[in-house]
Chains A and B, each alone.
Chain A
């Protein structure tokens, strides 16, 4: 029920803006709150962030590339098996200087969604990402990664071709690259599938993005054996940008336009541009040795999450 209403609302928000549409959305929202009963959403609650992070009109990776970068030339393939449309990458310029950009890509309409496999990457996608990142490192080009995926694709072929190995190998090899790496979690940070391109020197996270070890739906189905507790699961998983900043797992929260990135894509990109520039300037000042040393150090800051008994 709630699911259908959310879908309808999203569809309407995507439609041509008019008084009638706005009224209808307001009506549906009331219904939605009624349908949820005691799970009534408060503004800023974790589940609302999940919905915003998945909003169908939110800018996707290629939108950010179009709005933030120039001279983008897409590079394809992992030179092993294939080219994964769910993960895109290529060389471009950010404010005049060369960068390598890689990111998960979702699709907006049904056809695109299928082509992009809903942003769920296969092993060849992760291997392409590493290939491009190594290429960048070889020629001292800084790397920007744009993270937005529900998770790595859980399919037979993905397992046969070593989904786990592809992710693991990325984590190890990206840690070695001797160029600045800036990670932008701009939509869904879906577990290992997100992390495979999210190891870097600065991790920026958009205000309404989420980053989690498991989706609230799956968490609910494991812990409560149903999907009815996803709102609660979203809350206890501590997956918002604010939560992650508190744990020092991200460095900076990037503000979004009021209401979320979908309300004004250009402004969303402009807000990201400023933070991106600052981070890139900071990192360019560091030597390659220092960069790699600090990257390893920041991963070791996790020790506060253990205690000596």
Chain B
């Protein structure tokens, strides 16, 4: 077999050469083509060749939604005190610090208030870079406060989900966030002001099983993975391979779980039009 063996010496690039190209190019997960990062940024992180939607940071997301990218951030200082003192192979505190350094955020969601098409809006966006966009007490509290704000100011609300679900490192406290947020949405129902849930790739677990599925409209970006159980868990349970496209946005639309699939480029206009049709900014007696 000796002639099949190959010395596995990694190809080494001189350091000075590496610098010129590093980080300038990215491979599209959709069509496998190599893309210039600047093109991608100018195209709202959508592949200019196949339309594949890359994940967006929460900062980019809110900048995209609000007029001229301007908004007031709320509750930026909320952070987790690690209530369980959770340590597995690495401590939760360490994981938090690393995620905070990576994202410049205290936790996995950004909460803002600004103008959409000239009209006031409350919006939150989750950030997958922060421990998989997982939902602990801080995410729960920030969303709940955003809902409170929408109720108090009588403003429409958008929450952009991008999350693996409840955050394991906060145990049952994370789980309770599902109930807390949903109860706050019950109060918003009584106002009423419209809440549009935007589901992006991926939205699974406890995030889907609470606010993400509770929009007056539930809309998703094309191709987004959306579900309760993760595909691997289902495969292990039923011991079969899952069909292509299972739990993708198009599958959910077909099964009646979404109002619409809206490409990122049309998102802002779609939200503004829907809110107008629902009378979100009409003068109210109250």
Contact = CB atoms under 8 A, between A and B. Distances in A.
Interface in A267-309: 295-296, 299-300, 302-309
Interface in B186-223: 186-187, 189, 205-206, 208-214
A305 B107 CA distance: 13
Given A156-B238, A168-B211, A236-B87, A306 B81 contact: yes
A236 B209 CA distance: 24
Interface string A231-256: 01100111100011001010000000
B101 to A, nearest CB: 14
B26 interface: no
B246 interface: yes
Interface string A173-204: 10110000000000001011001101100000
Nearest to B173: A305
A174 B226 CA distance: 24
B141 interface: yes
Interface in A142-178: 152-156, 158-165, 167-169, 171-173, 175-176
Contacts of A196: 209
Contacts, number: 192
Contacts of A160: 255
A154 B232 CA distance: 10
Interface string B171-186: 1111111111011111
Contact of B141 (A162, A224, A302): A302
A247 B233 contact: no
A96 B240 CA distance: 50
A82 B51 CA distance: 40
B238 A155 contact: yes
Given A192-B175, A199-B183, A237-B168, 18 more contacts: A154-B233, A155-B229, A155-B238, A158-B229, A163-B227, A163-B229, A164-B212, A164-B227, A169-B214, A175-B179, A175-B183, A192-B209, A237-B84, A237-B171, A239-B171, A299-B180, A305-B173, A309-B106
Interface of B: 77-81, 83-84, 86-89, 106, 136-138, 140-141, 144, 166-168, 170-180, 182-187, 189, 205-206, 208-214, 227-229, 233-234, 237-238, 242, 246-247, 255-257
